[in-house]
Structures are given as structure tokens and as C-alpha cells.
Amino acid sequence: MAILIGICWLASGLPAFADDDSMGGANIGERFFLETRFAQFFFTNSGGDANFDLTNGDPVMNFTASIYGPSPGPFAGQSMNCRACHLVEEHEATGNRTYCDFAARSPIPNLGDGQNTTTRNAMPLVDALLPRNVPLLLHSDGQFASAQDLILATLTGRNYGWTPAQYETAIHHIAHIVREDDGTGGLAQQYGGWSYTITLEGLGEVQHQYFIPPQNRMNVSVTDTNSPNYVTDEQIVQNIASLIEQYMLTLVFSQDTNGNFDGSPFDVFLIKNNLPQQPDEGETSVQYGRRLLSLVAGLTNPQWVTNVIDGQFVTTAHGQPFQFGTNELVGLEIFLTDQSNLAGATNLQAQGRTAGIEVGNCISCHAPPAFTDFIFHNNGATQAEYDGIHGAGAFMALAVPPLAQRLTNYEAYLPATANHPNATGIFESPPATNNPAQTDLGLWNVFANPDFPAPQIGLQQMLPQLLAVPAPQLGGLTVSGTNLIFTATKGAPDWTYYVLATTNLSTPLASWQIVSTNAFDVTGQFSFTNALDSSAPQFFYSLALGNISSAAALPQMIARFKTPTVRDLNSSEPYLHTGQLDTIEEVLQFYVRTSAQARAGTIRNADPQLSQIQLDNSAVAPLAAFLRSLNEANYADIPCPCQ
Ligand code: HEC
Ligand code: HEC
């Protein structure tokens, strides 16, 4: 069995096993990430013996499903673990993975419930927990507001073979494995041979790398529930989640000590040309990307990144030279060009490097340096898959219930949860030939869903950004008779705006008085009338954005998914949440198609930015070259800090 310890992607500035508390739990977290005994299959087939050696493992582990055809599963003979779907070097001949797999949708344990795969494509975990300036929401539908919640739900959920009704059983089983583990198993042997009891007490610390941070230490061997040292099953599983999270925090693309990415040819190009590698203080990623575009478009003597001299990829990892040359530069300029900033595009056309004005507008959602905005958009992926099965126009015509209807019949429309174990989840399912009601509406399932309370605050915070609510423009002040009439235009229909007033301009806006609450009409206008009182002091007015009702917002959540990073795409195909597209070129052709459809108004709830993409097929080759320059070198050639 090939289990690898200490895979790269540790930030190169960090020592291999940092002994500060925030990093200390990573190593033991990795062991839990690899642990196969937490699954329902082991529970059912081990006769209650935590150290049982399964002779016949869960059949789902026999093969790694792949778009290239199945290969032997690295954990064959055992049961489910995180790594089975979040692979790294297990299938090196086919390619390294950024902690995802090779399947369009990943196989899950067979419970006879008709579900054979995950709903969505397994996403990379490298950079998944990167700090961001929007609330952290995980899974492509934003179902989890913390890694801790996600891990707890995964360990006790369907991917591990547990049904929503089995939560307590799962918690008890996982704690039982931890309490009873004797350290003889193959996995334990790779982590110093300590039992979980000894490991969690911090006694494996003699060997520095098995250090447990003080806040994660616990004595799981105490059986007397009245003892002050007794830890509950729930506490044990929470602790496992915390340690796995510490491990996942170490999974980042290579960065220098200042937090600048430095592992891809693109990053090396920025370094060689003294270009800024991240936004300035107070600058957004999109603003930084636009600034970068003007800087690269103005480079008179670009310093190219040349294979071998500036870096090298392991052939088996990427099969491409480590380079950033003219083609990649053209692709970068197309990627960063949006409708507000056509300089790069006209420049390229004037130089004869592109046939027309190519506007990638990729920057709007995949701005550097993370190449994601971490929020949710609809780029047409769900519709493409659905219409591919049910015919053009089918997704447009699909009946999707409004909020009120959805609330009165949770089970008919929303995903199964512990509160609603029998819910159908028809809008969180891959489309199927035999059931046209079934599709994946992504964020729609989570937004304003009372069974997912944790993400709601974050979603409310990002609503203006999600819905790209423009700042309304103040029209004018007119006096009519004894009335003052105040108008505004270009507000977003259905949103509440407050008219605020103060007599003293130096008062902070938050304490101005609300004199009127307004909704813009469908044309985005409103007017506000106030009686003029000549004896009153002078008033100053302002407009502030309020909110939108969940009922009005819900239809705009249809088919939105979290923007993935486009770093190291060579290690994460197939692409999109549907796993439908196998190559970078297919994704680019997908955007050529869906952006044209969005302009024609034939994509349901298309993101407004989608129609701003304006590409023809001649943009595909340079864009693909640029995207490949975001592949990482850090497999073997750059000394890995963790081996
Ligand atoms: C059976 C396959 C499978 C297993 C087992 C599995 N995952 Fe996943 N994981 C997925 C899929 C599929 C997604 C995407 C889910 C979605 O978008 O709805 C995902 C998403 C994630 C994400 C979200 C990343 C992001 O950027 O939002 C994290 C984190 C994660 N998994 C961690 C784990 C951990 C930790 C474990 C083990 C406790 C685990 N996974 C076990 C398939 C799996
Ligand atoms: C409106 C926001 C938006 C714009 C503009 C946009 N993307 Fe995306 N991109 C997304 C979202 C959201 C997804 C995931 C969609 C899904 O899976 O349903 C995605 C997925 C991708 C993927 C697949 C990644 C993976 O791991 O599956 C690639 C590659 C990609 N985009 C490249 C681009 C390029 C190149 C451009 C410019 C031509 C671009 N995108 C423009 C939002 C956007």
C-alpha cells in the first residue's frame, strides 16, 4: 500500500514540522485523514473490534475511478477515508493530484439507496482554506461555514457510508476506534507506532513530529464518566476534526515567507520582471489584476521564464516545459482583460497577436493571486449538463419552487439532513435520464435553508457582492411647492435602500437618522418626498444599502457554485462541479459557448459577468498556455521542506 507522508505544498517558508502550536497537529491530522476505520463499513464488519483486520474490504475501495479508466485502489481491502477522494501521489503514472481524484463524481459506499457517487466532482484541497476577504464557505454550494463543521459532517456522513439518521452511531463508533486503537495497524506504524491514546496524550512527542498542541491533548483511556478527565465521544470527534483542519491548513501552493506565491512559471515571471505579486494594502484582487494588466502590457523588454534555467517540472507530473513566453503572456493579457479595461486587448490586436478584441473577463471571478473570488456564480455548468441530457431549453423550463413553497415542503425539494432524513434532495442531484426533475442547483439548496444555519450569516454578508448590487446614483433634489423631492436611479430592483439624514455632516453615517425606507422599482428608480420646513435646520441626505428579501433573492441563487482556483489545473481534471470537461481546452470552448448564450439570454440565471466574456476560438491556445503556466513545480525538483 502506498501511503505517503509529508507531501509537498507546505509553504516553502515553513519548517517541515513546525513546532509552534498552530502547526503541531498537522502530522497527526494527516493520520486521521488517512484512517480507514471510521467508516460505516468497518463498523458493520469488524464485530466491534477496533483493531480488526478486514479480510474483505469495502468493494468501493477496490478501484480508483478515473476518466482514464479504473486503476487499483490505494486502500483496497479497507474502508473509506478522506484520501480515497482527495488523492496526491497515489497514481503518479497518471498524474499527481492536488488532493482530489480522477473521477467526474467519486464512488461512495453502496448502501442500496441508489446513490453510487458523490453529487459533485471532488475539489482540490490545496489552497481550500486560504485566508480571504469574504466569509469562509466550503463545498461548492457553501454548505459549511467552517472546516470543523465540514469534517464532522463528512466523517459521520454519506461519503463514509452513514445515513443522516446514524449520526450518534457514527460519533460513538469513531470515538470507539480512537479509544481502543492499539497502534498495531499498518497506518499507525507509519506514524511512530503509537496508539491513538498515547498520541493524543502527547506522549509520542519524544519523536518531535508527533507533537500534539496542548489544546488538542486529551486522555481518551478514561472510562469513568464521573472522572474530571473523562472526554465524551463528541469531544473526541471534534478533536479529530480540529487536527485534520490543522493538517489541511498546511496544504497550500508554494509561497515565500511574505506570502507571495512562487511555485509556478507565472509566479516566476512576475518575480523576474519585478511585477507586484499581490494586491497593495486596500486594493482588491480585481484592482490588482487590472494594475497587473497595465504593467504587463507596458513591458518593453519582458524577461521570459525558460525551462531548466528557471525551473523544471517532473515529466510524469506535468509533461510540459517550465516556461512563460510570448504565448503565455498573450493568454495572461486576455485573462486579465475586462470590459472596463480593453487596453490589453486592443494592444494585442494592434500587434497582430490576436485576431479580434479578446476579452477573457476571467479576472472578474478568478482574480490573482488566488485565482478565485471564493464566492458563487453561475457560469452555465449545471445547464450544460442538464440540457445535454434533456435537450436545449429544458433547464430554462424546469419548475423550481419559490421560497414559500420550498419551506412548506422541505422533503420534496431540499437535501436530506438530520432534521429531514427522508428529504429527496432532487435539486442537489446529478441530472438523470429517467428523472427530469433531478438536477443540481448548487447554492440554491443552502441559501435560506433553515437546516443549514451556519452559512446564512456569511451568505447575507456577501449578498450585495453575489448579486453585484450597483451603488445607486443620486438623481437630484427638486422643490415642488412645499415639498422637497429627492430621486435616485440605477438601484437594484427589490433591494431596500435607506434614505439617511443628518444636520451635521461630521456625524458618522451609522448614526444618521433613517428618514425613509425605499425599494427601487423594477426600472431601478425611486423618489422620496419630504415636506420643506423653512424653520428647520439644514439637512444632509445620503443613501445606504439595506437588504433584499430571501424570497426575491432565492431565484438568483439557482445554479451558482463556488469559483474554483485555476492554479495547477493539470492536477485536478476533470473540471467543473459536474466533472464533465476533461481538458483545459474544453473548458475554454465551454466559455466561448456559454458567454454567447448568456448574451442571447438563453442561460437561466447566468452571472452578469458571463455575457461580458467575448472570445473566439483563436483565444483558446494562448489562454490554455497561460493556464498551464499556473501549474506547480513543487513536486520534486525544488527541495521539498517536508521530506
Ligand atoms: C467519497 C469521496 C470523498 C470523501 C471520502 C471525502 N471527500 Fe471531501 N470532497 C468530496 C467532494 C465530492 C467534494 C465537493 C463537494 C461539493 O462541492 O459539494 C469535497 C469537498 C471537500 C472540501 C471543500 C473544499 C472547498 O474548497 O470548499 C473539503 C475541505 C474536504 N472535502 C475535506 C475532506 C475531508 C477532511 C475528508 C475526510 C474526513 C473528506 N473530504 C472526505 C469528496 C470526498
Ligand atoms: C462569472 C464568474 C466567472 C467568470 C467570468 C469566469 N469563471 Fe471560470 N469558473 C467560475 C465558476 C463559478 C466555476 C465553477 C462552476 C461550476 O463548477 O459549476 C468556474 C470554473 C472554471 C474552471 C474549472 C476549474 C475546476 O477546477 O473545475 C476553469 C478552468 C475556469 N473556470 C477558467 C476560467 C477562464 C479561463 C475564464 C475567462 C475566460 C473564466 N473562468 C471566467 C466563475 C467564473
Q: 179-220, pLDDT tens digit by residue?
A: 999 999 999 998 888 899 999 988 765 555 567 888 999 999
In angstroms, rounded to a whole number, what is the distance separating the alpha carbons of residues 532 and 639?
A: 74
Quick check: CB of 591 below 6 Å from ligand 2?
yes
Quick check: CB of 360 below 6 Å from ligand 2?
yes
**Per-residue pLDDT averaged across 528-549, rounded?**
81
For residue 126, what are the CA distances in angstroms to 76, 98, 254?
25, 6, 10
In angstroms, rounded to a whole number, what is the distance separating the alpha carbons of residues 581 and 604?
A: 20
Give the residue, out of 130, 154, 155, with the most ligand 1 atoms within 8 A of its beta carbon, to mutate for a pocket test: 154
Quick check: CB of 176 below 6 Å from ligand 2?
no
- Per-residue exposure over 206-223, b if at least 16 CB sit within 10 Å of its own CB, e if not: eeebbbbbeebebebeee
486 pLDDT exceeds 70? yes
- Please name which ligand lies nearest the alpha carbon of 337: 2
**Per-residue pLDDT averaged across 592-602, rounded?**
98
Give the residue, out of 30, 60, 125, 575, with the most ligand 1 atoms within 8 A of its beta carbon, to mutate for a pocket test: 125
Quick check: CB of 372 below 6 Å from ligand 2?
no
Residue 586 grid cell: 474544453
Give the residue, out of 462, 576, 583, 630, with the most ligand 2 atoms within 8 A of its beta carbon, to mutate for a pocket test: 576
Q: Mean pLDDT of all residues in the chain?
A: 90
Q: What is the dihedral of CA 499, 500, 503, 505, to 10 degrees?
A: -120
What pLDDT score was predicted for residue 315? 65
Quick check: CB of 40 below 6 Å from ligand 1?
no
What pLDDT score was predicted for residue 641? 37
Quick check: CB of 166 below 6 Å from ligand 2?
no
- Please name which ligand lies nearest the alpha carbon of 571: 2
- Please name which ligand lies nearest the alpha carbon of 154: 1
State the Cα angle at 238 between 236 and 241, rounded to 5°: 115
Closest CA to 121 of 107, 105, 137: 105
What pLDDT score was predicted for residue 1? 26
What pLDDT score was predicted for residue 17? 29
Torsional sign, CA 79, 84, 88, 89? positive
In angstroms, rounded to a whole number, what is the distance separating the alpha carbons of residues 257 and 255?
A: 7
Give the residue, out of 379, 580, 584, 630, with the most ligand 2 atoms within 8 A of its beta carbon, to mutate for a pocket test: 379
pLDDT in tens, 365-400: 999 999 999 999 999 999 999 999 999 999 999 999
221 pLDDT exceeds 60? yes
- Per-residue exposure over 485-513, b if at least 16 CB sit within 10 Å of its own CB, e if not: ebebeebbebbbbbbbbbeeeeeeeeebe
In angstroms, rounded to a whole number, what is the distance separating the alpha carbons of residues 333 and 292?
A: 9
Q: How sure is the predictor about 517, in pLDDT bands with cuts at 50, 70 and 90?
A: confident
In angstroms, rounded to a whole number, what is the distance separating the alpha carbons of residues 124 and 568?
A: 10
Distance 143 CA to ligand 1 centre (A): 12
Residue 108 grid cell: 461512495
Percent of the chain with pLDDT over 90: 72
Give the residue, out of 365, 575, 581, 589, with the most ligand 2 atoms within 8 A of its beta carbon, to mutate for a pocket test: 365
pLDDT in tens, 113-166: 999 999 999 999 999 999 999 999 999 999 999 999 999 999 999 999 999 999
Residue 207 grid cell: 519523536
Quick check: CB of 174 below 6 Å from ligand 2?
no
pLDDT in tens, 224-276: 999 999 999 999 999 999 999 999 999 999 999 999 999 999 999 999 999 99
Ligand 2 atom with the smallest distance to the CA of 442 is: 18
Residue 284 grid cell: 482588491
Closest CA to 410 of 448, 371, 367, 369: 448
Quick check: CB of 577 below 6 Å from ligand 2?
yes
pLDDT in tens, 105-124: 999 999 999 999 999 999 99
Which residue type, as a one-letter code, is found at position 92?
A: E
Quick check: CB of 137 below 6 Å from ligand 1?
no
- Per-residue exposure over 140-175, b if at least 16 CB sit within 10 Å of its own CB, e if not: bbbbbbbbebbbbbbbbbbbbbbbbebbeebbebbb
What pLDDT score was predicted for residue 205? 59
In angstroms, rounded to a whole number, what is the distance separating the alpha carbons of residues 184 and 197?
A: 13
Distance 437 CA to ligand 2 centre (A): 26
In angstroms, rounded to a whole number, what is the distance separating the alpha carbons of residues 104 and 556?
A: 26
pLDDT in tens, 274-301: 999 999 999 999 999 999 999 999 999 9
In angstroms, rounded to a whole number, what is the distance separating the alpha carbons of residues 90 and 92?
A: 6
Residue nearest to atom 35 of ligand 2 (CA): 362
For 156, residues 6+ apart whose C-beta sits below 8 A from its C-beta are: 162, 166, 167, 170, 171, 174, 237
User: Given the C-alpha cell 510524469, which residue does it identify?
Assistant: 316
